[in-house]
Amino acid sequence: MNNHDFNLQPSVDRGHLTTELVNAKSIDLEERDTQSLVDIFVKEDINPQLAVSNAKDDIVRAIDEISSRLKTGGRLFYLGAGTSGRLGVLDAVECPPTFCTDPNLIQGIIAGGESALIRSSEGLEDQDFAGKIDLKKKNFNSKDSLIGISAGGTTPYVLGALNYALSINSLTISITCVPKSQVSMRSDIDIRLVTGPELLTGSTRLKAGTATKMALNIISTCVMVRLGKTYSNYMVDLSATNEKLLDRSLRIIRDLANIDRNTSLHLLSQSKGSVKKALLMAISGISDLEKIDQLLVDNNDNLNEAIASIKKNESR
């Protein structure tokens, strides 16, 4: 942005926000030795864990509501600007390799588009209409869910998107790191991760970013559990597409089916690289891949439900 384009008359004084306050513990940062610097950051990073814990009831609601919508054809979108937007995109792009989801199921939107992931474009967050435009480009609709992320809760790009989502009866969830008494966020579920003033004043890529990443990790992983993408505490809905994932896949099949590595490799080959299908073959004794596919279709692609149906039939 050129100097002559910059608005030198800000419409809002954000100095009262918790995320903008000066942290009394770190007013002497430049005077500390490196050991002391690291110590204070380590101690402060306990706060994001506490903030997430304090918000757990709203996080639970978000997980259940998102899961319900995804099961009925909806999608999940993360939307934010700057660090908040990058964290949303990061969580979204990790879902396909971890849970074998369709890339369209969970998507991240950042103000400024993909280029903003590697090059700062924070000025774009001031456009309250842009969030709506970006959602409409994705054909965002009433079946979908939106998580709007704004550390200070005042980002026009995010607020505009939430307002649009509310207007079409989509599920709206806000994540911000300031108390409700300071900023109002219009959303169905209002998640507050109050982490306190940053050690580097106003740098919400620190504690606020850490708490946000933690919350998103919990939300997406628990949603995938609800969708049947896990078995016990293993990620069984993955494909062996590289050496690391092949090794992990074989260990998962070996551990859960209680068979040796060679047998696991044989089943994985029969299932065309699908851990879930290989496991179902091992547990059910069915070697016909078409029958395995149908078994999963009949049970909402859920391994737990498919195994339960097999056991139920065996008991008759």
Q: What is the pLDDT of residues 275-296, one digit of tens each?
A: 999 999 999 999 999 999 999 9
- Provide the residue type at 145 as one letter: S
**Domains along the chain?**
18-226 (3.40.50.10490), 243-314 (1.10.8.1080)
- The number of beta carbons lying within 10 Å of the beta carbon of residue 229 is 22
The predicted pLDDT at position 121 comes to 65
The predicted pLDDT at position 269 comes to 94
Identify the active-site residue in 94, 114, 198, 290: 94
pLDDT < 50 regions, the chain = 1-4
> Which residue, chain included where needed, has tokens 């990073």?
45
Q: 145-149 and 171-176: which strand pairing? A: parallel
Confirm whether 243 is a catalytic residue: no
Could you please report the per-residue DSSP string of 230-273? -BTTB--S-B--SHHHHHHHHHHHHHHHT--HHHHHHHHHHTTT
Q: At what angle do helices 156-167 and 130-137 cross, to 10 degrees?
A: 50
CA 310 to chain centre: 33
The predicted pLDDT at position 51 comes to 98
The predicted pLDDT at position 9 comes to 58
Identify the active-site residue in 20, 44, 125, 198: 125
DSSP 72: T
The predicted pLDDT at position 6 comes to 52
The predicted pLDDT at position 128 comes to 81
SS3 of the chain: helix, strand, coil, percent, to 5 = 55, 10, 35
3-state secondary structure at position 225? helix
The predicted pLDDT at position 15 comes to 66
Which helix H or strand E contains 145, and what residues bound it? Answer: strand 145-149
Q: For the segment 200-214, what is each residue's pLDDT rounded down to a tens digit?
A: 999 999 999 999 999
Confirm whether 125 is a catalytic residue: yes
The predicted pLDDT at position 4 comes to 45
The predicted pLDDT at position 115 comes to 82
